Structure 1
């Protein structure tokens, strides 16, 4: 295992950790003891699942990668290692892959993991379980290069179907766990926020001439709607989204040939010292013309969003 490059080992570990995290999420929901607290407002919640999963992810990553930088959404938690929830294994299929040459010598000390233990927390508490994802993103030199999206409740509405799905990627290796699907050839379906709307968000969506708007929770879920061919674009003209929301989804989307930028068309940055908010908003496309949407975002909206700290 020592001969396997760090980046590949990290992806292999993250796949196993994400799957373990999904088990924790389902167990806590089944217990009925969600332990809900408000962080900043009624739209910004934290549950026992958020807390326990972050402890699982952080302690599991540091167990095998002590020089790594891990930045999680729940930054005020006691990160005491709990061996009962730790995952120390590696996904065998990932370990057997050939690491892209450009990442072979990437040092552990320069790699940054962006973790959202439960993206779509409000929806989780409301029973909208298909909105929920576990996000583990990998960045190097400020760029999102790999990531894992785990959907703990994928297929939950299909009785008897296998529950849960894990999608992962590394730049240059491809995307795994996903079936290729394209959106309808007719129409323009846009995904946007369910809980954090405002005039700028609504004006931007209207300017993009949608035939349908899906207001849903979770950045991971919105990008999955793109990857699953449900929507044509993800438009969020607000600084409410954070780096841990977008790192893994961006890496996977781009590896499929998609685009994720802020509202100015600028790339998001993932250096460890970067501003945590995506201050320029988020615009994502896969099979659609990204510039078409960029050109329709009102100038007043772009001026109000800061592109420098994205």
Structure 2
């Protein structure tokens, strides 16, 4: 398990490096921002270059983990489909090949022969990075890779987080998470972007996290802060304003980033009443929150159990699709979610929302 964690930290950094290359290298950055017009406007590779960057990262993680842990092949899932159609109408399946040259050749077919861009991407994919420093020595978890599966949220270049979450195939319980923030800060000397990573392991009595545990103290509910989407329902905003005060509602983009805000202690709670997030958004940060004594619960089920007089908080699991839905919606968190570090603070939030949704 320590070997798996070290590998996930390394592939997370490789993914972050691919994202930085996309922004720093002119030929790739041009594809990110270019808007084709006229006869070229239907060229899918330009319109979907952000998606292609996501797929490249996803397939790189799948390749690297599957190579070192073959028993996990077939259990490494991602947000994106890896099938593309190029400008000639040809269907291309994006995979990571055994050599940089072969990967570049494959990517060039997706990029309508743009060998420069394909070569830059392939170079970043196949780059050997030094091991990422993490205090994993002595970490012993009584699990084998054959019991585990992975959800990948490759990056979403607009929100810029690489999320790799590991869960038990049998129960869906999140047990390990790696988060990489590729654009955390700029190097004062060179001006290039530098990243930051976070990790956590939670299984049984083993709870280890790169982020320090919170010092709860005697925080009043009036001091609670909640991070939300700007598009959150007005009734939720009003209920939370009454509980916390108007200055304690924070708005941010990206589900993974908002859960990271809770992990870091920048906010106490993250609430989302809509079913607009997916397993790949929440699995990795959920594992970190569990290692810190918190979690991510299904908001709808938690509200329902509270209304029925129970104190049960139903945490999200990651192994079962919603069979009544199709496509990506099979893996949505349909009941909304609430992410927390302190369960006592969570109860106040649930009470404030009871009967409102």
Structure 2 length as normaliser, TM-score?
0.67
Offset of 1:94 from its aligned partner?
Answer: 5.9
SS in 1 for 2:223: coil
Q: 1:143: which partner in 2?
A: 173
Distance (whole Å) between structure 2 residues aligned to residue 208 and residue 241 of structure 1: 21
Answering whether residue 30 of structure 2 is matched by residue 33 of structure 1, we say yes
Which stretch shows the higher mean deviation, 203-212 or 110-119? 203-212
Which of structures 1 and 2 has the bigger CA Rg?
2
Deviation digits for residues 167-203 of structure 1 (CA, Å, limit 9, x no counterpart): 0111114111x35666987633221224xx25xx332
Q: 1:295: which partner in 2?
A: 351
Going from structure 1 to structure 2, the CA distance change for 1:293 and 1:45 (only over 3 Å counts) comes to farther
Deviation digits for residues 24-69 of structure 1 (CA, Å, limit 9, x no counterpart): 10110123134479xxxxxx99444312211221111111122310
Distance (whole Å) between structure 1 residues aligned to residue 65 and residue 31 of structure 2: 25
User: Do the aligned partners of 2:155 and 2:163 also contact (CA within 8 Å) in 1?
Assistant: yes
Offset of 1:71 from its aligned partner?
Answer: 0.9
Distance (whole Å) between structure 2 residues aligned to residue 87 and residue 96 of structure 1: 25
Which stretch shows the higher mean deviation, 232-241 or 74-83? 74-83
Distance (whole Å) between structure 1 residues aligned to residue 273 and residue 172 of structure 2: 22
User: Do the aligned partners of 1:182 and 1:228 also contact (CA within 8 Å) in 2?
Assistant: no
User: Do the aligned partners of 1:35 and 1:48 also contact (CA within 8 Å) in 2?
Assistant: no
Deviation digits for residues 115-150 of structure 1 (CA, Å, limit 9, x no counterpart): 00014x4xx2xxxxxx42100000013100011000
Going from structure 1 to structure 2, the CA distance change for 1:236 and 1:87 (only over 3 Å counts) comes to farther
Q: 1:4: which partner in 2?
A: none
SS in 1 for 2:139: coil
Distance (whole Å) between structure 2 residues aligned to residue 95 and residue 283 of structure 1: 29
Q: For 1:99, which of 140, 154, 157 is the aligned residue?
A: 140
Distance (whole Å) between structure 1 residues aligned to residue 225 and residue 287 of structure 2: 22
Going from structure 1 to structure 2, the CA distance change for 1:86 and 1:143 (only over 3 Å counts) comes to farther
Structure 1 length as normaliser, TM-score?
0.76
Offset of 1:165 from its aligned partner?
Answer: 0.6
When you count helix as a share of all residues, which structure comes out higher? 2
RMSD: 3.0
Q: 2:240: which partner in 1?
A: 208
Q: For 1:22, which of 1, 16, 23 is the aligned residue?
A: 16
| Structure 2, unpaired ranges of 5+ | 36-47, 84-92, 101-124, 303-313, 323-329
Q: 1:222: which partner in 2?
A: 258
User: Do the aligned partners of 1:146 and 1:251 also contact (CA within 8 Å) in 2?
Assistant: yes
Deviation digits for residues 86-126 of structure 1 (CA, Å, limit 9, x no counterpart): 477765756633312x32xx3x333110000014x4xx2xx
Going from structure 1 to structure 2, the CA distance change for 1:272 and 1:79 (only over 3 Å counts) comes to farther
